[in-house]
Amino acid sequence: MNKTAKQQGFCKRLRDIHPLELVFSLVSALGDGKVNAIADLHRNFHGIHMDTSAGVVYKPFHNQLRKAEFADFMQSVTCRAMALFKQELCLVLLEKFKRFEQVLL
Protein backbone atom coordinates (compact mmCIF):
# COMPACT_ATOMS: atom_id res chain seq x y z
CA MET A 1 0.00 0.00 0.00
CA ASN A 2 2.87 2.37 0.81
CA LYS A 3 4.40 1.63 -2.59
CA THR A 4 1.12 2.46 -4.35
CA ALA A 5 0.78 5.69 -2.36
CA LYS A 6 4.28 6.75 -3.34
CA GLN A 7 3.72 5.84 -7.00
CA GLN A 8 0.55 7.93 -7.09
CA GLY A 9 2.34 10.84 -5.42
CA PHE A 10 0.05 10.76 -2.40
CA CYS A 11 2.84 10.43 0.16
CA LYS A 12 6.42 11.38 -0.32
CA ARG A 13 7.38 10.72 3.30
CA LEU A 14 5.64 8.55 5.87
CA ARG A 15 4.68 10.69 8.81
CA ASP A 16 1.74 10.32 11.19
CA ILE A 17 -0.83 9.34 8.58
CA HIS A 18 0.15 6.06 6.94
CA PRO A 19 -1.72 5.00 3.79
CA LEU A 20 -2.72 1.58 5.13
CA GLU A 21 -4.20 2.98 8.34
CA LEU A 22 -5.96 5.72 6.38
CA VAL A 23 -7.57 3.27 3.96
CA PHE A 24 -8.64 0.93 6.79
CA SER A 25 -10.21 3.79 8.71
CA LEU A 26 -12.02 5.13 5.62
CA VAL A 27 -13.42 1.73 4.70
CA SER A 28 -14.51 1.17 8.29
CA ALA A 29 -16.15 4.58 8.62
CA LEU A 30 -17.88 4.51 5.25
CA GLY A 31 -19.01 0.93 5.87
CA ASP A 32 -20.89 2.04 8.97
CA GLY A 33 -22.88 4.53 6.93
CA LYS A 34 -22.76 7.11 9.73
CA VAL A 35 -20.45 9.64 8.08
CA ASN A 36 -21.82 13.16 7.85
CA ALA A 37 -18.58 15.13 7.83
CA ILE A 38 -14.81 14.82 7.57
CA ALA A 39 -14.73 15.08 11.37
CA ASP A 40 -16.44 11.68 11.52
CA LEU A 41 -13.67 10.21 9.35
CA HIS A 42 -11.09 11.88 11.58
CA ARG A 43 -12.63 10.40 14.74
CA ASN A 44 -12.72 6.96 13.16
CA PHE A 45 -9.07 7.30 12.14
CA HIS A 46 -8.16 7.95 15.75
CA GLY A 47 -10.16 4.92 16.83
CA ILE A 48 -8.24 2.62 14.47
CA HIS A 49 -4.85 4.33 14.72
CA MET A 50 -2.18 1.75 15.58
CA ASP A 51 -0.08 4.05 17.78
CA THR A 52 -2.30 5.43 20.54
CA SER A 53 0.36 7.85 21.78
CA ALA A 54 0.48 9.69 18.45
CA GLY A 55 -2.50 11.79 17.55
CA VAL A 56 -3.24 13.58 14.32
CA VAL A 57 -5.08 16.85 14.61
CA TYR A 58 -7.91 17.68 12.23
CA LYS A 59 -6.14 20.08 9.84
CA PRO A 60 -3.29 17.75 8.73
CA PHE A 61 -5.83 14.93 8.35
CA HIS A 62 -8.06 17.16 6.23
CA ASN A 63 -5.09 18.30 4.16
CA GLN A 64 -4.30 14.68 3.28
CA LEU A 65 -7.85 14.10 2.07
CA ARG A 66 -7.96 17.24 -0.07
CA LYS A 67 -4.81 16.42 -2.04
CA ALA A 68 -5.43 15.77 -5.72
CA GLU A 69 -3.15 12.73 -5.40
CA PHE A 70 -5.46 11.26 -2.75
CA ALA A 71 -8.12 10.69 -5.40
CA ASP A 72 -5.58 8.94 -7.64
CA PHE A 73 -4.39 6.80 -4.74
CA MET A 74 -7.92 5.79 -3.75
CA GLN A 75 -8.78 5.04 -7.38
CA SER A 76 -5.75 2.76 -7.62
CA VAL A 77 -6.62 0.99 -4.35
CA THR A 78 -10.25 0.58 -5.42
CA CYS A 79 -9.32 -0.80 -8.84
CA ARG A 80 -6.98 -3.33 -7.23
CA ALA A 81 -9.63 -4.35 -4.70
CA MET A 82 -12.25 -4.73 -7.43
CA ALA A 83 -9.85 -6.84 -9.52
CA LEU A 84 -9.24 -9.14 -6.55
CA PHE A 85 -12.98 -9.27 -5.84
CA LYS A 86 -13.71 -10.07 -9.49
CA GLN A 87 -11.10 -12.82 -9.48
CA GLU A 88 -12.66 -14.42 -6.40
CA LEU A 89 -16.17 -13.96 -7.75
CA CYS A 90 -15.34 -15.56 -11.09
CA LEU A 91 -14.32 -18.73 -9.31
CA VAL A 92 -17.77 -19.22 -7.82
CA LEU A 93 -19.92 -17.43 -10.39
CA LEU A 94 -23.03 -19.30 -11.44
CA GLU A 95 -23.61 -20.10 -15.10
CA LYS A 96 -26.69 -17.85 -15.38
CA PHE A 97 -24.68 -14.76 -14.40
CA LYS A 98 -22.01 -15.32 -17.04
CA ARG A 99 -24.24 -13.81 -19.75
CA PHE A 100 -23.51 -10.32 -18.41
CA GLU A 101 -20.41 -8.69 -19.85
CA GLN A 102 -20.29 -5.60 -17.67
CA VAL A 103 -21.95 -4.41 -14.48
CA LEU A 104 -21.86 -0.67 -13.84
CA LEU A 105 -21.94 0.49 -10.23
Measure CA of the first residue to CA of the last residue in the chain; give whole Å: 24
Q: How far apart are CA 31 and CA 84, in angstroms?
A: 19
* pLDDT the model gives residue 78: 92
pLDDT band at residue 66 using 50, 70 and 90 as cut-offs: very high
Q: Say yes or no to pLDDT of 104 above 90.
A: no
Q: How far apart are CA 26 and CA 61, in angstroms?
A: 12
Structural contact between residues 23 and 1, judged by C-beta atoms closer than 8 angstroms:
yes
Report the length, in residues, of the chain.
105
* pLDDT the model gives residue 84: 86
In terms of DSSP H, where are the helices of 1-105? 2-7, 19-32, 38-48, 58-65, 68-92
User: Nearest Cα to 85, choosing from 103, 66, 63?
Assistant: 103
Average pLDDT over the chain, rounded to an integer: 83
* pLDDT the model gives residue 17: 84
**pLDDT, tens digit, for every residue of 22-37?**
899 899 888 888 889 9
